[in-house]
Amino acid sequence: MPRQLRAEQTRATIITAAADLFDRHGYESTSLSDIVEHAQVTKGALYFHFAAKEDLAHAILELQSRVSRQMASETDARGYSSLECLMRITFGIARLSVEDPIPRAGLRLATGGVEVRPPLRHPFNEWLDLASRKFLGAVKESDLHPDTDIDAAAHSLVSSFVGTRVVGRSLEPMARQPRRLAEMWHVMIRGLVPVPRRARYLTLVSHLEREIRAL
């Protein structure tokens, strides 16, 4: 195996192991020795890629940001309405959180006081901007009430989205996340979407939840 490819695989193994431990035990409670043992690599291999635990946390946050942006870009390219795009993105992130420790760890790091270093933006700010853009588009497309407070709606969405995951992590299995996300969207749709448009989006919620459960 070429040296560069082997190094990339080792780095990915270390990041995944760190994400798993950060998700299960928290950032502060996880040591570099724990990560070395869990990744089954040498300390030299870890320090070759990461000088400190903070660098590992930042790498996980970078990956989470990259995946979220890619998902948003791919969803935009499919020509969905603004509100459907936003719904599909949130369910896509939920699906990844069920399958992959990196998005789960990214959320725990974002809520656990780990500093997000420039030029990387805090994930919550990225999600707030995305939600604001999509809600503004939904107003223009008549999928939201014309007097919707965009900033308040975006803040409520991100807070609810993060909150369902944080609360669920402590009280429920991760597989319950799609159901909680569907419940969140049911509440938001009934509060934000005009009556003639509600049935379409309530049906979409059920469809997106079933898609995740079928995986």
CATH number of 32's domain? 1.10.357.10
Mean pLDDT of the chain: 91
Please state, in angstroms and rounded to a whole number, the distance separating the CA atoms of residues 163 and 157. 10
- Percent of the chain exceeding pLDDT 70 equals 97
Residues 177-202 have a mean pLDDT of 95
Q: What is the pLDDT of residues 84-126, one digit of tens each?
A: 999 999 999 888 888 889 988 998 898 876 888 888 899 999 9
Q: What integer pLDDT is reported at residue 54 of this predicted model? A: 94
Read off the pLDDT of residues 34-83 as tens digits, 9 standing for 90 and up.
999 999 999 999 999 999 999 999 999 999 999 889 999 999 999 999 99
Which pTM value belongs to this model? 0.88
Confidence of residue 2 (pLDDT cuts 50, 70, 90): low
- How far apart, in whole angstroms, are the C-alpha atoms of residue 189 and residue 197? 9
**Cα(43)–Cα(120) distance, integer angstroms:** 27
Give the angle subtended at the CA of 196 by the CAs of 195 and 198, to the nearest 5°: 60
For residues 73 and 130, is the Cβ–Cβ distance under 8 A? no
Q: How far apart are CA 156 and CA 9, in angstroms?
A: 39
Q: How many domains would you assign to the chain? A: 1
Contacts of 37 (CB under 8 A, 6+ apart): none
What tokens does 115 get?
Answer: 């500093």
Residues 150-163 have pLDDT tens digits of 999 999 999 999 98
| 62 class by beta-carbon count within 10 Å (0-12 exposed, 13-18 middle, 19+ buried) | middle
The rounded distance, in Å, linking the Cα atoms of 44 and 58 is 20
Q: What is the mean pLDDT of residues 15-35?
A: 94
Residue 119's domain spans which residues? 3-213
- Which residues have a Cβ under 8 Å from the Cβ of 163 and sit 6 or more positions away? none
- For position 28, what pLDDT does the model report? 92
